Structure 1
Amino acid sequence: MNLTKFFRTAIAISALFVGVAQTAKADIVTWTGDTTGGPTVDLTPLGADASAVPYDAWSFTVDQSGEYTFLLTAVYNIDSVIVLYENSFDPNDAFSNSIAAGDDDVSLNTSSTWASLTAGTHYTLLVAGFGDTDYGAYSVTIGGPGLITAVPEPSTWLMLGLGLAAVGYTARRKSQL
């Protein structure tokens, strides 16, 4: 069995297990990305062997309090790490606000954790490697009793605001003609 097929099977089985164990309103979300060339963070305060490891971060909220599970699967031969932060994540202080972390679940390429989350609270999920040379493509599956909603980055809100301002300006200018 090749490595890609193994990870797809592991994710499918995990997602199925999480889906069966949840209520009718349960949500399962999968995010994919790549940490190659990303910003770096020092994870040595959390016990990792990584002082400048590339990372990716996902911000989200949940609409129902309860226990949520997180499964990270990295492709290739990456020793993966997953860290969950409550309220905010500061790449200059990787220990502050961390509430859960996971490393080496089924293999070096998989990490999982769980946490009891509160509805309406802002969370950030950090995906990284255990060492500075551990980076690459990954997939994260999150499951829990409520809906999981991604929180847009501040730059997204800025672009939306500028777009609405441009539409308003154009409409006002047309009405003056």
Structure 2
Amino acid sequence: MYPRAYIEYLVHFHGDRDYFECHEILEEYWKEDERGKRKEYWVAFIQVAVSLYHHRRSNFGGARRMMKNALSIFEKEKEAILKLGLDDVALLALIRKQMISQEKKEPYRSISLPIKDSLLLKLCLDLCSEKDITWLSDSDLNNELIVNKHKLRDRSDVIEEREQQKKMKQRKYNL
């Protein structure tokens, strides 16, 4: 009923608060659809995770921009939000509240998405148990890997992908 990537996103979002991982999981899933057929609401979820990642690192401008973009998409995608087991009204209110917090440059606080569907919640709790992750834990602000993951991760696959894209473009222009 729910994509595995979405459940994994929710587990990291509400469990270890690894927002970078949330972003990676959903972006990969989103890209499985061909261009032009990709679902915009996945972008909003990605942007919420990126916003919180920035907020936690006190990048308030970047955090607010991402949250504002997510809000814009969620406002248009209320039906999709409901189909994804969330309370659309509560989600929009939460996003707006988060934007105000970021605008005021308040310290980061972990938030929870308003899961409405008990089946979705059970799937998330089961996966948390399987991964040995505590549901609704607060962010560990002392965990460098969670807080600064973009600086510490292995980027060799990203660099290789960029090189492949560059070579493809060069071949295309040389024809």
TM-score normalised by L of structure 1: 0.25
Relative contact order, higher structure (CA 8 A, sep 6+)? 1
* Structure that is richer in strand per residue: 1
Superposition TM-score, scaled by structure 2 size: 0.26
Higher Cα Rg, which structure: 1
Structure ranking higher in helix proportion: 2
